[in-house]
């Protein structure tokens, strides 16, 4: 995992490689308004995670967070700050992901790619192109 910061603020997390043992939160300590939580799971065969459900709780967020998961292929993501300044680029391949916490992004498909995009809803037509 690689955390990406801009002006000391966490704006994204690259998800790849090995994960720490157990069920480990990766976001909530650093994000004031967390729309998508990220936990990593790394358990041994035979481990049972206790059954549970989540109690309905009113949650109000004002930011959109997205997670892009590459199922196959290879992509390049350019990452931009909230004030639309270029920050960095990352390359993702199969089984890797990027959690966009508070940033702009641009995709370049480097190899034929199949991806998933997960984001908090409901869907709004709120894209600002720059």
Q: In whole angstroms, what is the distance from residue 7 CA to residue 95 CA?
A: 29
How confident is the model at residue 16, as a pLDDT?
86
Within a 13 Å sphere around the CA of 102, how many CA atoms are in the beta-carbon half?
A: 19
- Segment 122-126 shows an average pLDDT of 78
Q: Answer yes or no: is pLDDT of 92 > 90.
A: yes
Structural domain including 79 reads: 2-42+62-119
Residue 105 lies in a domain: yes
Which CATH number does the domain housing residue 114 bear? 2.60.120
Residue 50 lies in a domain: no
The per-residue pLDDT for range 95-110, each reduced to its tens digit, is 899 999 889 999 999 9
Residue 13 lies in a domain: yes
Residue 112 lies in a domain: yes
How confident is the model at residue 121, as a pLDDT?
77
Residues contacting 21, CB < 8 A, separation 6+: 42, 43
The per-residue pLDDT for range 2-38, each reduced to its tens digit, is 999 999 998 999 988 776 676 666 666 555 566 677 7
The count of domains in the chain is 1
Residue 130 lies in a domain: no
Q: Are 48 and 61 in contact (CB under 8 A)?
A: no
The per-residue pLDDT for range 45-89, each reduced to its tens digit, is 999 989 999 899 887 777 788 999 999 999 999 999 999 999 999
Nearest in space to 111 (alpha carbons), one of 66, 61, 75, 63: 75
Residue 48 lies in a domain: no
Q: Are 113 and 32 in contact (CB under 8 A)?
A: no
Q: Answer yes or no: is pLDDT of 128 > 80.
A: yes
φ and ψ at residue 100, rounded to 5 degrees: -85, 105
Q: In whole angstroms, what is the distance from residue 93 CA to residue 116 CA?
A: 13
Residue 126 binned pLDDT confidence (cut-offs 50, 70, 90): confident
Pairing of strands 39-42, 22-25: antiparallel
Residue 55 lies in a domain: no
Residue 25 lies in a domain: yes
How confident is the model at residue 67, as a pLDDT?
92
Q: In whole angstroms, what is the distance from residue 103 CA to residue 87 CA?
A: 9
């Amino acid at each position: 995992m690689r955390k990406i910061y801009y002006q000391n603020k966490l704006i994204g997390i690259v998800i790849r490689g090995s994960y720490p043992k157990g069920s480990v939160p990766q976001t909530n300590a650093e994000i004031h308004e967390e729309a998508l939580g990220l936990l990593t799971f790394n358990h041994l065969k035979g481990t049972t995670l206790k059954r549970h459900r989540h109690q309905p709780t009113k949650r109000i967020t004002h930011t959109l967070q997205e997670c892009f998961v590459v199922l196959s292929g290879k992509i390049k993501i350019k990452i931009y700050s909230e004030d639309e300044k270029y920050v960095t680029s990352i390359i993702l391949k199969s089984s890797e992901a990027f959690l966009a916490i508070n940033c702009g992004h641009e995709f370049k498909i480097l190899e034929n790619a199949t991806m998933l995009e997960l984001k908090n809803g409901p869907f709004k037509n709120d894209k600002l192109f720059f």
